């Protein structure tokens, strides 16, 4: 009886109510598709809370308000400029396979033009939250020493041009789309764009005070709340069920369940692989690294979540879980780049790797399924092209910011914390903050 009641309620919510809202001239399928896309968009929007928790938990308490403010502005600024300009560049009428030329300021694009079964506004909000995700990735890599004004300008630029151009290449009918590149939900479009921009920003910005010794040896700077960071990872994991299955843009698509399964398997495999690797490598399973291992698996499977088998998803997640560990070491020990939350290894390295692995594990077109190197070559071209575009534009952007606006806060503001130095407030007003590195000295 209870099961029948639940089914009846689901039918009312997903079918009857949408049918009443959209009217008799709209099909039930369109109504279901619209509701599904909106639910998925809301899940992806909630991922901003996950990013905020991960980044603030993995950094020091004196910078928590600054982290929250940056994540908030990524959404607010990104929503406005993507609506006005970015959406048109990404999905407007194609020009030379490079960018769109119509659809600016909310006009000139329609569901019919894009071949959608849902209202254009539903598709726009779904794409808007993806744009905000790409923008917010940089926040963690440049945390604890970046001027807030510089970050606001960066967030504006990535949302209005850097991200939309890549989106057009792969999702908007651009040249990579025509070649047949597979990036179903954005390992490259979303995560690699954010990750490569984070890499360039962190490199130009320089490390935090005390991160490297005079000999260049990296020092650990613990985050202030690993529990908060873990909560953020769980929120992101949950939101990814909107990110990947939602990219079907159809509630009637029977592959939704399959995509949810590949997503979950890759995340799990990434976490398990990282746990065991750090256990062997460091003699104890590293908590923060394992949390990033889960995110690594999620980022890596995003490109091929609809194209690989369930076991392929496990393999991709496990590979990403290994890559993120060695990626952190490469960044700190070889490149001497300070990334407080591991954004670059997770999003740039695993986003690129996950996109490449589609060329191996795709059931239709993958090398391991006897279809040769064609798809792998296309994937590699796409990864390299996006990396070149993003690194190049980010280099120009951050160098310009450094020269004309200033990119880094003053030393005394960094030491005191950006909450006070940039915002004149603190996140934990009732607590006395103690630097654990000075205890016992």
Express each pLDDT in 200-215 by its tens digit.
999 999 999 999 988 8
Cα 137–Cα 142–Cα 145 angle in degrees, nearest 5: 150
pLDDT of residue 30: 86
Task: From residue 65, give the alpha-carbon distance in Å to each of 137, 148, 155, 322.
Answer: 17, 11, 17, 32
Q: How far, in Å, CA of 300 to CA of 298, rounded?
A: 6
Give the strand pairing for 99-100 and 94-95. Answer: antiparallel
pLDDT-flagged residues of the chain (< 70): 1-26, 430-441
Nearest in space to 95 (alpha carbons), one of 179, 173, 167, 182? 173
Nearest in space to 352 (alpha carbons), one of 313, 324, 329? 324
> Would you tell me the crossing angle of helices 256-282 and 287-301 to the nearest 10 degrees?
150
Q: How far, in Å, CA of 343 to CA of 337, rounded?
A: 12
pLDDT of residue 364: 93
Nearest in space to 383 (alpha carbons), one of 366, 358, 362? 358
Report the half-sphere exposure of 347 (CA within 13 A, side-chain side).
Answer: 28
Look up the pTM and report it.
0.89
Is residue 74 within 8 Å of residue 48, measured between CB atoms?
A: yes
| Torsion angle in degrees (nearest 10) through CA of 331, 333, 339, 343 | 40
362: which strand partners?
A: 308
Q: How far, in Å, CA of 197 to CA of 185, rounded?
A: 19
Contacts of 314 by beta carbon, 8 Å cutoff, 6+ apart: 265, 266, 269
Three-state SS at 166 = helix
pLDDT of residue 109: 83
Is residue 28 within 8 Å of residue 15, measured between CB atoms?
A: yes
Q: Provide φ and ψ at 212, rounded to 5°.
A: -120, 140
95: which strand partners?
A: 99
Which three-class secondary structure string do you get for the chain? Answer: CHHHHHHHHHHHHHHHHHHHHHCCCCCHHHHHHHHHHHHHHHHHHHHHHHHHHHHHHCCCHHHHHHHHHHHHHHHHHHHHHHHHHHHHHHHCCEECCCEECCCHHHCCCCHHHHCCCCCHHHHHHHHHHHHHHHHHHHHHHCCCCECHHHHHHHHHHHHHHHHHHHHHHHCCCCHHHHHCCCCCCCHHHHHHHHHHHHHHHHHHHCCCCCCECCCCCECCCCCCCHHHHHHHHHHHHHHHHHHCHHHHCCCCCCCHHHHHHHHHHHHHHHHHHHHHHHHHHHCCCCHHHHHHHHHHHHHHHCCCCCCECHHHHHHHHHHHHHHHHHHHHHHHHHCCCCCCCCHHHHHHHHHHHHHHHHHHHECCCCHHHCCCCHHHHHHHHHHHHHHHHHHHHHHHHHHHHHHHCCCECCHHHHHHCHHHHHHCCCCCCCCCCCCHHHCCC
């Amino acid at each position: 009886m209870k099961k029948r009641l639940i089914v009846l309620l689901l039918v009312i919510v997903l079918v009857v109510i949408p049918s009443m809202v959209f009217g008799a001239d709209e099909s039930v399928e369109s109504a279901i598709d619209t509701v599904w896309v909106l639910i998925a968009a809301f899940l992806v929007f909630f991922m901003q809370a996950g990013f905020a928790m991960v980044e603030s938990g993995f950094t020091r308490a004196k910078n928590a308000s600054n982290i929250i403010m940056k994540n908030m502005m990524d959404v607010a600024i990104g929503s406005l400029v993507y609506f006005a300009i970015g959406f048109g560049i990404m999905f407007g009428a194609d020009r030379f396979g490079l960018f769109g030329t119509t659809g600016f300021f909310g006009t000139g694009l329609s569901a019919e033009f894009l071949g959608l079964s849902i209202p254009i506004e539903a598709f726009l909000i779904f794409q808007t939250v993806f744009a905000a995700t790409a923008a917010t990735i940089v926040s963690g890599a440049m945390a604890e020493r970046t001027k807030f004004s510089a970050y606001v300008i960066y967030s504006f630029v990535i949302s209005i041009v850097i991200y939309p151009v890549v989106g057009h290449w792969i999702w908007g009918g651009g040249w990579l789309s025509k070649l047949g590149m597979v990036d179903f939900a954005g390992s490259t479009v979303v995560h690699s764009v954010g990750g490569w921009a984070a890499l360039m920003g962190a490199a130009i910005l320089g490390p935090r005070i005390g991160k490297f010794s005079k000999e260049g040896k990296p020092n650990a700077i613990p985050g202030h709340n690993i529990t908060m960071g873990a909560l953020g990872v769980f929120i992101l994991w949950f939101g990814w069920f909107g990110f990947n299955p939602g990219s079907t843009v159809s509630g009637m698509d029977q592959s939704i369940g399959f995509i949810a399964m590949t997503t979950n398997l890759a995340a799990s495999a990434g976490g398990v692989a990282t746990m065991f690797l750090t256990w062997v490598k460091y003699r104890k399973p590293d908590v923060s690294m394992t949390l990033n291992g889960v995110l690594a698996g999620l980022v890596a499977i995003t490109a091929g979540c609809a194209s690989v088998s369930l076991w392929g998803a496990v393999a991709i997640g496990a590979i990403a879980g290994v890559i993120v560990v060695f990626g952190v070491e490469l960044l700190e020990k070889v490149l001497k780049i300070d990334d407080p939350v591991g954004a670059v290894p997770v999003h740039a390295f695993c986003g690129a790797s996950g996109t490449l692995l589609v060329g191996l594990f795709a059931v239709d077109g993958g090398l391991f399924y006897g279809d040769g190197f064609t798809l792998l070559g296309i994937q590699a071209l796409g990864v390299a092209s996006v990396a070149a575009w993003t690194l190049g534009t980010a280099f120009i952007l951050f160098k310009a910011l450094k020269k004309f606006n200033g990119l880094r806060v003053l030393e005394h503001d960094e030491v005191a914390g950006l909450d006070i130095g940039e915002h004149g407030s603190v996140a934990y007003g009732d607590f006395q903050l103690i630097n654990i590195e000075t205890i016992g000295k």
